[in-house]
Amino acid sequence: REKKTSPAADSIAATGSALLPTTPSHELSRRSAVVSRHVVGRCRTQQLEEVRKKEPLLHRDCPVGRPHATRMRRTVVRLVTLLLLASSCQTEAGVKLYPYGDDAGDNKLECDGRKTCSTGFAPTAPLHIFKQTFTKINIYSNGYVTMNTPYDGRQPKRGFRGMFDRNKMAAAVSKGFAMIAPLWTDNDARYGSVFYNVYDKALRDYEWQNDTVIFARAQRDVNFHSSHTNVDVSYVGVVTWVGMVPRMSYNPLLDQPNTFQLVLIQDPAKWLTFALFLYKETRWNTVVTLRGNLAGYHVIGPDVSKTYLGPFSFKPLGLRLATKAGNRRRVGESFYRLSDLSHEPNYDHMCRLWYGREDTTDTFDETLACPCNRATVKADARWRPDGIQYPDGKTCFYERMPSKLATQDGSAGPTFRHHPRHYNHNRTDWEPHYWCCVKSHNCDKFYEVRPIDTCDSYMAPYIAWMVGDPHICTLDGFRYTFNGLGEFTLLTTKGLDFTLQARVTKARDLDGNDVNATIVSAVVAQKFNSERVHVELNGDRTGNVT
């Protein structure tokens, strides 16, 4: 029908131009307007009859009718729309997802042949979302996660409204509830996979290669999308839905799948939490929208109620998110801040982060044990009231009566990384104690890496003696007499990097003259990069020979 009417229009235009070759353009416009007013009714009727008869319209005085042109425009719009939808089904822009799957060490949601399934677990660190703290995460195959309170919904019929009845709503508000949905649809879990993983810098084994890649990309994404400065990403959660097909699909194996990802990014020290939605491919047929599709979040609690519904929710374009620009104008990405500004530091996280980064290879237990009472301290010259030149060691606190060693948490002296008068003591010792023991309930973590002495291993000093030329007993039990002259290495070890060196010089008689005998006049020891311990005889060295 359209192909037959287009030549007719061309013939009308050609006929008009041939019959009125000398008519001015303004006169032609005036006459056309007059003719149009008089014949419009007749033309509409005639066009309908001609279309029914499938004959071309050849009347010179009748312009192209409006109803027929309107139908043509509508047909063209529909064809263009179908072509656009078809092209979007064939080509997907998509984005690069965070590492996921078995190669990334992810956990996998086990559905055991069920169409819908979920799992719940406690994250390694609490999630802070809009002043609400969440300690449990529930992951669902239908493209969303919930926190604290579970919610199993096949499809978002009314968005976030009416999710709970009155009793369940009260429980959800009391415990706290959060739903974060990158793409909530009615998926068939039998034909897809769901992977999840968490990355926490407060854990001591986070230095795995994949973890550094995750943290580096999360830091870049936050710096790009967020206006916050000095954000230190230290917690990332990644959930990936791969190859999800609709539940009502007639042929799931041939259907176009959806693959997308939710990334939760935290700087717990500043109470900042972000959600990143990434869409690699979204290729479902628009018919599936009859069952609903939703992207957004919903958070409720005693002091919070926040809801965001994506602009393409419950619309056909909601199934083309991989080709649409998100709220930050990047195709296939949407970024949301899930927190309010707070000026109070998160001391619990600061303690956990310090605890995770603390070097556990330090052998504080090899340091001298505290004397059991103050009288013993005065008699033991190895202990002093203070001394900034000593970099680390134990601090012994004593009670006034009965002057015994304090060994209880809070009152006992921990092992310090640096002496209290050292400039690094505040950063490495005092602040962690303040975060863990004063502002949070993590004293056990602090004293685990800064142990308290109980004086059980204390040994009082005793007198040592030696005689004669340098006599050496090696570690394998052999004894040697050594008359060398100079400086020598007596002992080196592997692993601990311990070195013991000695200086051997000639002895002197009572008159101060050198004799043909040698003595060890100085000893120096060092472990790894610690301070050197140097002991040397005085310069006189008289009376070494008797």
| DSSP at 406 | P
Tell me the residue length of the chain.
546
Q: How far is CA 185 from the centre of its chain?
A: 25
User: What is the per-residue pLDDT across 134-156, written as a single tens digit (0 to 9) for each?
Assistant: 999 999 999 999 999 899 887 78
pLDDT of the residue at 409: 54
**Of 294-303, 422-431, 440-449, the least confident:** 422-431
pLDDT of the residue at 107: 93
Q: Which of 423, 404, 414 is nearest to 367 (CA)?
A: 414
How many CA atoms, within 13 angstroms, populate the side-chain half-sphere of residue 175?
A: 15
CA dist 187 and 190 (Å) reads 9
CA dist 286 and 394 (Å) reads 70
| DSSP at 98 | P
User: What is the per-residue pLDDT across 355-373, written as a single tens digit (0 to 9) for each?
Assistant: 877 765 555 656 677 777 7
Residue given tokens 């986070």 in the structure block? 206
Backbone angles phi, psi at 442, to 5 degrees: -130, 35
pLDDT of the residue at 291: 61
* Section 445-457 average pLDDT: 77
User: What is the per-residue pLDDT across 173-210, written as a single tens digit (0 to 9) for each?
Assistant: 888 899 999 999 888 888 889 999 999 887 756 555 56
The residue extents of the domains of the chain are 2-90, 102-337, 347-449, 471-536
Residue given tokens 């996979």 in the structure block? 193
**Of 388-392, 397-401, 417-421, 455-459, the least confident:** 388-392
Residue, of 422 and 316, whose pLDDT is higher: 316
Order of strands across the sheet with 144-148?
118-121, 137-140, 144-148, 177-184, 294-301, 304-309
pLDDT of the residue at 440: 81
Q: Beta-carbon neighbour count of residue 237 at 10 Å?
A: 23
**What's the pLDDT band for 168 if we cut at 50, 70, 90?**
confident
| Residues 70-91: b if buried by 16+ CB within 10 A, e if exposed | eebeeeeeeeeeeeebeebbee
**What's the pLDDT band for 350 if we cut at 50, 70, 90?**
confident
Cα angle value 215/357/390 (rounded, 5°): 145
In contact, 307 and 296? CB cutoff 8 Å: yes
Residue, of 4 and 373, whose pLDDT is higher: 373
* Section 372-399 average pLDDT: 64
